[in-house]
Structure 1
Amino acid sequence: MESIAVNTRGGVQHVVLQATPFCNIACTYCYLPDRSRFEVMRLEVVDAVAELLASAESDAEVLEVRWHAGEPLTAGPSFYAEAVALMASRLSGRYEVRHSVQTNAILVDRDWCRLFKNHSFRVGVSIDGPEEINDAHRLTRRGEGSFRKAMRGVARLREEGVPFDTISVVTPATLGRQERFLDFLENLAPRSVGFNVEETEGSHQSASLASADFEPAWQGFLERLVGWEKRTGIPVREFDRIRRSIAGSGFGAVNEQARPFGFINVDVDGNLYTFSPELVGLTHSAYGSFAIGDVWTPWPSLHASASLKAQATSIADGVEGCRRRCEYFSVCGGGAPANKLFENGTFDSDETAMCRCTVKDVTDVVVRDIEASTGHGE
């Protein structure tokens, strides 16, 4: 089978590993199909991932390894201690490996904090705001609010001196209580904050993006957020991305989610995916499984995968459509394939509600702020 021409600029830089698909809570907006399956990635899979990465043709010096897609801490700290050691033994001298984990913080204790500090993990906490906002959607498996349990974990991180970032899903409940929400984040004092709007992905259909009232309220929130960031000194992830792109640091030059092997995403069983991490474990009528092989598949066979060719061709056509028709192309490089697929039904498409909110609206706010601060908007 003929392999496709793959743009390997920058090589492999991002690896998303699903230590377990299981999650100990049941968020109403979750799209993961196997979140009730309790399985932990075998160390043989971790070792095979590391061996594959060690043999990759890549000029990247830094490798970002993100433990995500499920609640990673349910795998236990001993798993990560062994996994980190395995990866270090394979990749030392080839990459500077940086580990990060996205967690709901419920299981955080002293042992976890020790592991995070010993291995320089960057910790992200998923929390949607104060109790009445968070618990509208982030529920335990018994249908109770998860806020108080999460805050005990956050308190432990702070006590042990572990810095953390936050990611919050913004819903109408957030936008209806903006001052309360932002006061909560300020008092939490994270290293940075990030915001995801409720997305349409997998089997989950976003009620937020379907509402005509959501985007105007979101735009107002972004305007307010500019002043909040300046006053608190807490960086906002979305603003930082756009500022770096405008400054020419290259964020928009190559869209890693749209480039084959820009992301390597591995599920708990060792199946290997590329493009958007949100495609892990999902299937689609046009593509079947999005897996292009597994971690034991040699690079030539991965490059020759029929599934890779089908996905890459459609994604590239969609990116070209964005290039031709969208004036914001330079700051995003063609959008997130997963959002295009699940909102528009195909990778070969351009604008999504998600990109309007997280690229176009954010860019407009950042540009207005830059113009106001430099006097160019007068």
Structure 2
Amino acid sequence: MTDSSIQQVVLKIHSRCNLACDHCYVYEHADQSWRARPTVITEETVRQVAERLAEYAKDRKLDSLCVILHGGEPLLAGAARLRTICAELSRRLSPISALDLRIHTNGVTLRPDHLAVFREFGVKVSISLDGDRAANDRHRLDRRGRSSHDRVLRAIELLRTPQNRHLYSGLLCTVDLANDPVAVHDALTALEPPRIDYLLPHSTWENPPPPGPGDSATPYADWLLKIFDRWEQQGRRIPVRTFDSVLSTLRGGPSLTEALGLAPSDLAVVETDGGIEQADSLKTAYDGAPETGYDVFRHGFEEFAGHPGVLARQRGLDGVSATCRSCPVVKSCGGGLYAHRYSAERGFDNPSVYCADLRALVDGIAERVTERGVAAPVYNAGELHFAQVDLVRTLLARVSESVKGDPAGHEAWRVLARLDADPAAAAHLDRVLAHPFVATSLLRSLRGPQDTSRFMALAAAAAVRAQAPVTLGWEQPGRRLYLPTLGTLTLPEPGHVEVEVTADGHLIRDGRGRRWVPGERPEAWRPLETVAAPGGPPLLVDDADPYRECFAAPVAPPLEASDLAVFRKRLSRTRELLDERRPRWSEGHYAGTVTTIVPLIAGAAPQTGAGHGLGALGVAVDFEPEELLRVLPRIAREARLAALRRTADLHPPGNRAGQLLNEAAGHLGDGEYRAAARVLTELTLLPASELTGTGAVLAAQLWGEWAQRHG
């Protein structure tokens, strides 16, 4: 099931600030609840937060959880209190789930003693900075009216030193139309942040954003597109989350930020008094907008997750206004940030107050990046597979920037780079990277929280397949150590593990020196099974990957041996029927569209999921081979179309051609040839500019399939 658990918690540890930013949503907007909050969170409240989070992580079996220390200004809590908070959170959560600790700060008072705490607990630091001195000081002055710029730069220089560089998470910049966008971007990139976030000023229909200096109807899009052009000139050297998210969704991928896209909200906020609230940005809507009535002393996070306000932000397309649902770019903008939709008349049932800007931004990026030539993957299944693995390599490199500061993560990246440089070993690395849920785990790490243990397991699995001599060690947050494409070892308890690989095999050790040799089939080791069939590659049956829960239907728990045997028998029969009735299936365009079978609960329909790589197919544990054979052509076409969209441009984003391609592929997959001809005819009559070269080739292929079947 697509996971809508709470994955991120903003923990307010200090409710006051040493700056007087006039655009701050906490102090300068409708909600003024900060005035009644305790200035500093108490140790008792921290303990209760940690207890509630531990309960929730255990009940939900969360592999990782991100806690963001926030304010006000969190550094005002002091280094000693920060250490107490981090220690308590780590004590309760680390045995259950990988804890990703972060802090968002203005950086003004960042000192070496703070950084010593952050190094001890691996706390990643994001700093707010609005550009060069002139841009930053337009709003970000201290309470005496003095510039904060030099003090923030000193903080960033501390983060850029070798001992702290791995803690440097990125820069947060609020858009101001009065500033030169290129000058702002150049000032930020000069500080070499791992990532930049450009944030639209918090506004609603009741309190619209500041107008631009000219008469443009979309001044915020114009401002951001100037930065996009500069970013392109720089070779996209530093990730910009807004742009990365739009580019991802235009290719059919997931949103990478709460402010854009249709991904469900996974955020909770805990105030200094222990109150559990919705997203902080709602403070800009009206007084009390984020409130739920819950607190950590009387309620758990499971109750919070069921609050109507939380559920409203997890409904995807059904949760946006009718105007947004009919918009061709809704999958990219997602109706905008929830708070920005508010009006007194209709509540949040509106497009974003930035609607025109978001449409212009998405369209502007789409026009700039649309490749109108013909991409090789449309001709050849092998090329498509190669292109998908290449995309995963890009994700892997992006995630590595976050883990390389950790010695274990750095060693894992060195192992992966060494395997990639060896042609013989690279083929084994490709096999692991092609596993569909590797892409899922990397994408989630980019969105946060970072799953370092998964990154380590990925490197270990690739080394095992390549038989590359290496030893990798890391802290395993749960008892189940899953090695992608290989299997699962159930450990006696969480803690330190080492995977040692030699040319003769591999063994796994824990922190107490206990050893398991998977090749000797110990009871604690459960390998993944495959299903072979004549004329095609084996199918992997994966009922263990913790990232496989990305289907509309719930996944089945790991199958008992007898149930797994029956399931494999049904799959073997399906492959036999496929070879009898479609003997050239594995040689055509749809080869490789199904490589990994995930057992779903009984009665579930066969389905692909969301946010995984090419090849995953969810199938009910009690499926019938004839039924799977019937729907497989449609599923394979959907999978190929989604993979092509991740790889190449088929049409300018948001136009009618995209929907027609979906409909044509679906009708052909279902054997509805008359409907397919009608849709393909409409597609053919569109202006030539509505399809790229790749899209035109795909349309011709669909016509060819129609002629072959219909004729």
What range describes the TM-score normalised by the shorter chain of this pair?
0.7 to 0.9
Query: How many Å apart are 1:253 and its aligned residue?
Result: 7.4
For the residue of structure 1 that corresponds to 2:104, the secondary structure is strand
Query: Which residue number corresponds to residue 299 of structure 2?
Result: 298
Residue of 138, 144, 150 corresponding to 1:136: 138
Q: Hey, what does 2:339 align to over in structure 1? A: 338
The CA deviation string for residues 202-254 of structure 1, in whole angstroms up to 9 with x for no partner, is: 99x45525877476443333333233223161111101122233344433775
Deviations 1:322-362 (A, max 9, x none): 66333333234444322222x565444131223544x4343
Supply the RMSD in Å over aligned alpha carbons: 3.4
The question of whether the paired residues in 1 share the 8 Å contact of 2:111 and 2:155 is answered with yes
User: Residues 39, 361 of structure 1: CA spacing in aligned structure 2 closer, same or farther, 3 A cutoff?
Assistant: same
Q: 1:24 maps to which residue?
A: 18
Residues of 2 paired with 1:135 and 1:240: CA distance? 28
User: Equivalent residue for 2:243?
Assistant: 239
Residues 1:84 and 2:102 aligned together = no
- Does structure 1 conserve the Cα–Cα contact (< 8 Å) formed by 2:335 and 2:355? no
Distance 1:104 1:21, change over 3 A: same
Counterpart secondary structure, 1:256: coil
Structure 1 residue 12 and structure 2 residue 6: aligned? yes
Aligned residue in 1 for 2:229? 227
Distance in 2 (alpha carbons) for counterparts of 1:300 and 1:220: 40
CA distance in 2, matches of 1:210, 1:345: 26
Name 1:168's counterpart in structure 2. 173
Deviations 1:148-181 (A, max 9, x none): 222222222223543241111111222xx23322
Shift of the 365–97 alpha-carbon distance from structure 1 to 2, 3 Å rule, reads farther
Aligned pair count reads 358
The answer to whether the 8 Å contact 1:255/1:332 transfers is no
Q: Is the 8 A contact 2:4 2:264 kept in 1?
A: no
Match of 1:191 among 194, 207, 211: 194
Q: Which deviates further from its counterpart, 108-117 or 368-377?
A: 368-377
> Distance in 2 between the 1:344 and 1:87 partners?
39
The 1-side partners of 2:313 and 2:241 are apart by 29
Q: Contact 1:167 / 1:194 at 8 angstroms: preserved in 2?
A: yes
SS in 1 for 2:3: coil
Alpha carbons of 1:291 and 1:209: their partners in 2 closer, same or farther (altered >3 Å)?
A: farther
Residue number in structure 2 paired with 1:255? 263
Q: Cα distance, 1:128 vs. partner?
A: 0.8
- Please give the alpha-carbon distance, in whole angstroms, between the structure 1 residues aligned to 2:134 and 2:224: 21
Higher RCO (C-alpha 8 Å, min separation 6): 1
TM-score (norm 1): 0.81
Shift of 1:114: 2.0
Aligned residue among 176, 182, 185 for 1:182: 185
Measured after TM superposition, the shift of residue 200 of structure 1 is 1.8
Q: Which has the larger radius of gyration?
A: 2
SS for the counterpart of 2:92 is helix
Kept after mapping to 2: 8 A contact 1:20/1:40 = yes
After TM superposition, the structure 1 = structure 2 runs for residues 96-175 of structure 1, keeping only pairs within 5 Å, are 96-159=98-161, 161-162=164-165, 163-174=168-179
User: What is residue 265 of structure 1 aligned with on the other side?
Assistant: 269
For residue 62 of structure 1, the aligned residue among 64, 77, 101 is: 64
Deviation at 1:195, TM superposition (A): 0.8
Which of structure 1's runs of 4+ aligned residues deviate more than 6 A? 35-38
Q: TM-score, with normalisation over the residues of structure 2?
A: 0.45
Say whether the 8 Å CA contact 1:15–1:263 is kept in structure 2.
yes
Q: Distance in 2 between matches of 1:224 and 1:336?
A: 22
Unaligned runs of 5+ in 2: 375-648, 653-691, 693-711
Amino acid in the other structure paired with 1:244? S
1:77 Cα offset (Å): 1.8
| Structure 1: segments with no counterpart, 5+ residues | 1-6
Q: How far did 1:371 drift? A: 0.5
**Residues 212 and 348 of structure 1: CA distance in aligned 2, closer, same or farther (over 3 Å):** farther
**Displacement, 1:373?**
7.7
In the alignment, is the contact (CA less than 8 A) between 1:31 and 1:202 conserved in 2?
no
Query: Are the counterparts in 2 of residues 166 and 193 from structure 1 also a CA contact under 8 Å?
Result: yes
Distance 1:179 1:300 in 2: 42
Name the CA distance, whole Å, in 2 between partners of 1:216 and 1:229: 20
